[in-house]
Amino acid sequence: MAATGESKSMSGRTSTTAACNLAKSGDDLLWLLRTAEDAINGLVVAFQDLAGHTDTTLKLTAAIVERVQDESVVSVLPSVRALGVAAKLFLGERLQATTGILETVTAEMALLSKLSAVTEGQGKIALDINMLTVHTKIEVAHLGSVGAGFEYLAHELADFSHSLTENTKELASHTDKRKDAAENTQHMLSVELPQLRKELTRVEVNLRDDLAQLEAGLTELSRMPEQFRVSAEDIARQIAGVVVAVQGYDITRQQVEHVQEALEVISQRFLKTDGSTEGVSQETAHAHAGLVIQIHQLHAIRATIAEWKSQIMTCMDGIFRISASDIVGIGPLVLEQERSMSSQLSHIEMLERECQAYGERIRSTLEGITNLSQLFTEHLRESEAARNRLRLLTFNSVIEASRLGARADTICVIADGIAEVSAEWGMIAEHSGSTLEEILELSERINEVMATFSGASDEQLNRTQEQTGAGLESLREASGFAASQGQKIGQTIETMRAGSGEIGKIGDQLDACFGRIDEVLSEVEKVKSQLEADYPEVKEEYDSEEIERLFSATYTTQAERDVLRTAIYGTAPSIAQSSSIGNDVELF
Amino acid sequence: MRRILTVDDSASMRQMVSFTLRKAGYEVTEAVDGKDGLDKVAGEKFDLIITDLNMPNVDGIQMITGVRKTPGYSFVPILMLSTESQAEKKNEGRKAGATGWIVKPFNAEQLVAVVQKLVK
């Protein structure tokens, strides 16, 4: 290596000082290596713990996600929607039917009043016939032996009067009872109809509200664990990144070792430069080149450590920021919503039972009307037969009275009376018949309305109730599961956070260790500056390839070689040999 | 359970390899350098060995050569886990009897996948 004539050599004292300072820096690096090893081991253990906890968290979250995405849970919303439609239909139909029944019962009340009038008329006729019976009997007694032919008429009249009185009483009693029942039913329906209307609106609104809440809860239940999983996976990646970075300590360790060895060699070279040589000696030039390389290596080490620290901070920040509270709270929230929805389901079941009870009452109303119409039919049939017989007897009596002449005039008057009563009875019977027809028509209408109470809406409602019940059961289980898993996740996150104190201590330890790098760097830069001040031309006094050969001999990593080339040739560092996820295995 | 020997003078590296493989269901034994590794191989049977290259006492290449001479270890897979990425070094490792090479830091999932493939 050529020395320039104008250059002055480093004084022997300066060289010795530089050598001592570099040796001391080398010792600092040895101390750093010894101390950092424990901190690095601690960091590895701490981050492995974190990785384990994150793994647990991810497994717990995945289990929630799997359970929540189960078909039976997912189907609960459509089931509840279908239940809402079915319940609305069911209650709507019953409301309509009840309105129809109320109208029918009101109409029945009017018909029953008509029947009361009929029975009253019958009662009057029964009295008239009774009177005619008495007159006939008196006349039979008055006529003596010639009036024997009228005894049968008197007897028949008495029978007819008696049976008509009895029938009238029976009909009147039934009609009154029926009127009472109809009045009760009318009252009941008048009271219950507005309630049923209110109930329909209430069920509709409640179901809509509960459905909206449940839908929101379910959306959260399916979104929250997934969102949490993404955050946890992010932390897992950061932890893995730190673990990979810490693995790289093996490279950093070797870098530090090699810097320490180089500083020792350079120190030796300074000691050899005792000021006896004029200009820049080869030893001085090599020492300067070595210092430049070591400065680059130290900067690279510092950058690596800064990168670790940043990765660790980001990771810890992520652990502190991740919120388990949402995932812990979502299970109980959905459980609450499920309970509210289940109570709606119970309420609908209760309404259904109440509607069935209405049905029973309406059925008994229908039976009462049927019984009454049967009774009237029977009564009319019997009365008609008796009237026909009476008409025949009256006809025979008129013939017999004509044969007896003036003596039987009274019998003729009685026969006219019977004919009048019979005609009157005929009118009443006709009137009864038309009322009866109306009653039968009413029965048919009630029958039609009653069909609603056993219609298809029952089946639809039952089916949706069953489906919703099963869906809510699955949801209950899933929410319970999410709640218990969420709690475990919360505890795991807390454990991870509790471990941050230990990581903080290790971080401080690493800071203290690698803080020495700055001191060493400062010292080495000082020596280099001194050298450059003493020998401004020192930079041009060495062969780059020779320097590369000299200093790369001990390098075992691509990272070190890259830094060396940057230091000597000013080339940009090649792409890092390791990625944040670590290197693959190359099989031979 | 398959048994794996990991040899490295860096405690943290041993720890990380052990953690990764234990989590994957393997039984892992640690050796602090090549000499310790050879001693363990002589006394026990392993299904796979993962070793560092630069170690005190006996380095990785020397250890592989020794392992291959040990009865029953001719075909046991040996992976080198090193900071070295130079082709000459890899070639040296291959000639000594290494099955594969991993430049530190390793990818945990990849390592497990390869180990599973090699010891199945």
Q: Which two tokens stand for residue A577?
A: 């040999």
Cβ separation A41–B106 shorter than 8 A: no
Residues of A with CB under 8 A from a CB of B: 37, 40-41, 43-45, 48, 51-52, 55, 240, 243-251, 253-254, 556-559, 577-578, 581-588
Which domain range does residue A289 map to?
Answer: 12-67+229-328+486-569
Residue A6 binned pLDDT confidence (cut-offs 50, 70, 90): very low
Q: Tell whether B116 is within 8 A of chain A (Cβ).
A: no
Give the tens place of pLDDT for each residue, A134-151.
888 888 888 888 777 778
Cβ separation A585–B111 shorter than 8 A: yes
Residue A579 has pLDDT above 60, yes or no: no
pLDDT, averaged across chain A: 79
Q: Are residues A509 and A397 in the same domain?
A: no
**Which one is predicted more confidently, A160 or A263?**
A263
Q: What is the pLDDT along chain B (120 residues), one digit of tens a residue?
A: 899 999 998 888 888 899 889 989 999 999 999 999 999 999 899 999 999 998 888 999 999 999 999 999 999 999 999 888 888 889 999 999 999 998 888 888 888 999 999 997
Residue of B16, B95, B102, B117 best to disrupt the A interface, most CBs of A under 10 A: B16
Whether A519 contacts A342, CB under 8 Å: no
Asked whether the bond before B105 is cis by omega within 30 degrees of 0, the reply is: yes
Establish if A154 belongs to a structural domain.
yes
Whether A16 contacts A280, CB under 8 Å: no
Report the 10 Å Cβ neighbour count for A423: 12
Establish if A321 belongs to a structural domain.
yes
The pLDDT of residue A275:
53
Give the tens place of pLDDT for each residue, A245-267.
888 788 888 889 899 988 888 88
Most confident of A151-165, A497-511, B72-86: B72-86
Q: Are residues A96 and A169 in the same domain?
A: yes
One-letter amino acid of A56: T
What is the interface pTM, i.e. ipTM, of the complex?
Answer: 0.82
Cβ separation B106–A247 shorter than 8 A: yes
Q: Are residues A93 and A60 in the same domain?
A: no
| CA dihedral for A354, A358, A359, A361, sign (positive or negative) | positive
For residue A47, the chain B residues in CB contact (below 8 A) are none
For residue B52, the chain A residues in CB contact (below 8 A) are 250
At residue A5, φ and ψ (nearest 5 deg) are -65, -35
How many domains would you assign to chain A? 2
DSSP states of A358-373 as a string? HHHHHHHHHHHHHHHH
The pLDDT of residue A452:
64
The pLDDT of residue A274:
56
Q: Tell whether B83 is within 8 A of chain A (Cβ).
A: yes
Q: Are residues A509 and A453 in the same domain?
A: no
Establish if A584 belongs to a structural domain.
no
Q: Are residues A109 and A193 in the same domain?
A: yes
Structural domains of chain B, ranges and CATH numbers in brackets: 3-119 (3.40.50.2300)
Give the tens place of pLDDT for each residue, A306-328.
888 888 888 888 888 777 777 77
Establish if A431 belongs to a structural domain.
yes
| CA-based nearest distance A540→chain B, Å | 30
Q: Are residues A493 and A457 in the same domain?
A: no
Cβ separation A577–B103 shorter than 8 A: yes
DSSP states of B14-36 as a string? HHHHHHHHHHTT-EEEEESSHHH
Q: Tell whether B84 is within 8 A of chain A (Cβ).
A: yes
Compare all CA atoms of chain A with the CA of B81 and give the residue at the minimum distance: A585
Cβ separation A585–B11 shorter than 8 A: no
Give the tens place of pLDDT for each residue, A461-493.
788 888 888 878 887 888 888 888 888 888 888
Mean pLDDT of the A392-410 span: 80
| CA-based nearest distance A254→chain B, Å | 9
Q: Are residues A391 and A490 in the same domain?
A: no
| CA-based nearest distance A344→chain B, Å | 49
Residues 6+ apart with CB under 8 A from A479: A221, A331, A332, A334, A335, A338
Q: Are residues A95 and A153 in the same domain?
A: yes
For residue B101, the chain A residues in CB contact (below 8 A) are 585-586, 588
Establish if A581 belongs to a structural domain.
no
Q: Are residues A292 and A200 in the same domain?
A: no
